[in-house]
Structure formats: structure tokens, C-alpha cells
Amino acid sequence: MRTALITGITGQDGSHLAELLLHKGYRVLGMIRHTSTTSQNRIKHLRDQLTIVEGDLLDQTSLTRILELHQPDEIYNLAGMSFVPASWQQPVLTAEFTGLGVTRLLDAMRHVAPKTRFYQASSSEMFGKVRETPQRETTPFHPRSPYAVAKAYGHYITVNYRESYDLFACCGILFNHEGPRRGLEFVTRKITHTAAQIKLGLAEELRLGNLQSKRDWGFAGDFVRAMWLMLQQPKADDYVIGTGETHTVQEFVEIAFDYLDLDWKRYVAVDPQLYRPAEVDLLLGDATKARTILGWQPEVTFRELVHMMVDADLALLRQQLQNKHDPRGKVAKVA
Ligand code: G4F
């Protein structure tokens, strides 16, 4: 039985990846910070199949101890601060987790588990003010937020450790990937959740920032397959993972509201306060290398993704309403 360590197991990608690896017969270790107040909702259905280990990307000793003790075959480094606007509020902490944290983990691996295979969650945000379209593995980076700068550091240190110490270390440069488990602060989930609230009479307005920015949005469940495939290759390398389609935030809004038979123009208000100090205007991934070498391709289309998220939010809200009105539901929820 192979063992995999996932940092960031409580996040959207961590939960999808844990499901995939458990399904493939892995023993899955999920690293959680001792002080973490993060909700474990996304992995509660897996809890009895996972081994939770306490560690922190800020604490080198804890990482060395975990790797020494468990000697995982594979490490997936998905932890870090993932909400771009928050990185302007906490730029130093972002650099510690999302940038230096990668070095701490790689260095622990180099010393105590050098045969382990390593996956680094790099991000299309690194392309930032894009130098070419579509973006591929060779496109230069121009990061536009403290988050993206920290990701670029994490990316290059992974490449550097691979080249310096002959480690099996890969970077997946993932374009935006979403789904019903996405946090409510990200634009896609904010749209589908608020649109579903409006449909049910629970909200009256959706306030958004820049409606014209374009993203290459795919389904998170498809993207974690690419992470696993990268670590199964004979040679470590870096890959762009995206759908090859780009859409504006407004298009996402239109599809979500149309699906609910609502006129989006009646409900959406643009709030300049939600604009970013520096925006990434256009992301579009060219995943030719991943398709050719990994045999990877996305299965869920953009429209299917929006519909899936709206359906999930409607079901969630209806369940919450039912629990509120049904005293037995309330008791069951507390229990
Ligand atoms: O959903 P977002 O916050 O995602 P963003 O910034 O593209 O980052 C996500 O994808 C990256 C991969 O490319 C990851 F590395 C990163 O961790 C994260 O998963 O914003 C998408 C776009 C932006 O252009 C933003 O300005 O939507 C625009 N937007 C417009 N109104 C909004 C809003 N974004 C948010 N979060 N909230 C709004 O109200």
C-alpha cells in the first residue's frame, strides 16, 4: 500500500485529492496545523479513512518529524493562503506559508525522505500581467499580487531543488478550478450561492468587483487527477493544467442566473471597493503538454460546472431552510 501526505487536506483540492487517492488504495495522511481553526467539513465523510498528522509549514521540525516517521511515497503540497485579496492584507504571512513553506518541506524531504515524490501547487496567477496568450509552461511570469509572488518563489524553489538535488519534484501550474466545495469568498461560489439565495428569497443583491476579468475555469475534481498523474511519470516535470477556454466573470454570472430563470441585471451591483490593487485581466491555459504526456483532459465543461455549483447551492440552502423549520432537523444537526 502506497502512502501519500497531503498538506492543505481541509481545502477544496485536498478533499478531492484525498478521495481520489483513497479510491486508488493509498494510505492518506492529512497534515493539519495544531492551531488550525479551519473547518474540517470538506473531509468529514472521509475522517475514518484518513490519518491526520499535526504539522505546520512554518515549523521545519514538525515537517522533518512527519516525513521521518511516515516515509510517504508521495507528498502533495496544497497548503497555503489561497485567497488572492487576503495576500495584500498579510503579505509577509503569505510569503511564509506559500513561499518559504515550500522550501521547508523540500528541505525536510531532501534530508529524511529523498526518494519521495513531490507535487507543488503552482498557480496560473504567476502569469499575472500576461506576456502571451494562451499561457504555457514556457510563458514568463509577471505576478500581480503578494500571493502570486509567493507562488512564483514556491515554483522556482521546487524546480531548483529538482535540479540541485535530483529530487522527484513536479509543479502543476493550475488555472482556476472550482466546484461546490469552493470557499464562499471566491467569485464563482459567491455568484452561485448568492444567486441561489436570491432564487429562494433569501437575498436581494449580489455585489461584485471587476466583471470583465477573464479566467480559465475548470472543475477541481478533474484537476486533482492531473496532480496524481504527474507523480506517476518516469521523469519529474512541470505542467500547465487548464481547460483551454476563457470566460468573463459576467459570463459566469449570466449562465448562473439564466439557469435559475433570473435576470442578472436586476440583481448584480458593481462595487468598486471589490476591485483589486492590481488585477490579472486574462488567463487562458494551453495544456497541450499535459494532454500529450499525461493523457489528461478535463471532463466537465464550463456550463456544466456553473450548473453543478448552482444545483449544489440550491440543495444546500434548501437543506438549511428545512433544518431551521423542522425542530427534529435542528436536533439532528446539533447531534
Ligand atoms: O475567484 P477569485 O477570487 O480567484 P483568483 O483571484 O483568480 O484566484 C484563484 O485562482 C488562482 C489560479 O489562477 C489560484 F491560484 C488562487 O488561489 C485562487 O484559487 O477571482 C477571480 C476574478 C478576479 O479577477 C476578481 O477580481 O473575479 C474577480 N471578481 C469580481 N468580483 C471577484 C469579485 N473576485 C472575488 N473573490 N470576489 C468578488 O466579489
* Bond from prior residue into 146 cis (ω within 30 degrees of 0): no
C-alpha to C-alpha distance for 246 and 250, rounded to whole angstroms: 12
If one residue of 124, 215, 270, 305 were mutated to test the ligand 1 pocket, choosing by the most ligand atoms within 8 A of its CB, it would be 215
Phi-psi region of 82 (alpha: psi -120 to 50; beta: other; left: phi over 0): alpha
Chain centroid to Cα 112, Å, comes to 28
Atom of ligand 1 nearest to the CA of 280: 24
Residue carrying C-alpha cell 499561457:
135
pTM (2 decimals)? 0.96
> Measured from the CB, is residue 176 less than 6 Å from ligand 1?
yes
Residue partners of 264: CB distance under 8 A and separation at least 6: 253, 254, 256, 257, 258
Report whether residue 82 contacts ligand 1, using a CB cutoff of 6 Å.
Answer: yes
Interval 253-291: pLDDT, tens: 999 999 999 999 999 999 999 999 999 999 999 999 999
To test ligand 1's pocket by mutation, which of 176, 205, 214, 268 has the most ligand atoms within 8 angstroms of CB? 176
Q: Which residue's CA is the closest to the ligand 1 atom numbered 26?
A: 210
In this predicted model, what pLDDT tens digit does every residue of 73-83 receive, in sequence order?
A: 999 999 998 99
Ordered structural domains, the chain, with CATH: 3-179+217-241 (3.40.50.720), 187-214+246-282+301-323 (3.90.25.10)
pLDDT in tens, 145-157: 999 999 999 999 9
- Is 274 touching ligand 1 by the criterion CB < 6 Å? yes
Residue 209 Cβ < 6 Å to ligand 1: yes
Q: How far apart are CA 303 and CA 224, in angstroms?
A: 20
Mean pLDDT of 183-199: 98
Q: How far apart are CA 148 and CA 99, in angstroms?
A: 10
User: Which residues, listed in sequence order, are joined to residue 170 by a DSSP beta bridge?
Assistant: 119
Closest atom, ligand 1, to C-alpha of 283: 13
| Model pLDDT, residue 36 | 60
Is the model's pLDDT at 220 over the cut of 70?
yes
> For 111-138, what is each residue's pLDDT tens digit?
999 999 999 999 999 999 999 999 999 9
- Closest Cα to atom 16, ligand 1: which residue? 82
Mean pLDDT of the chain: 96
Q: Is 84 in the pocket of ligand 1 (CB under 6 A)?
A: yes
3-class state of residue 212 by DSSP:
coil
* Lowest model confidence (mean pLDDT) among 62-66, 218-222, 274-278, 331-335: 331-335
Does the pLDDT of residue 158 top 80, yes or no?
yes
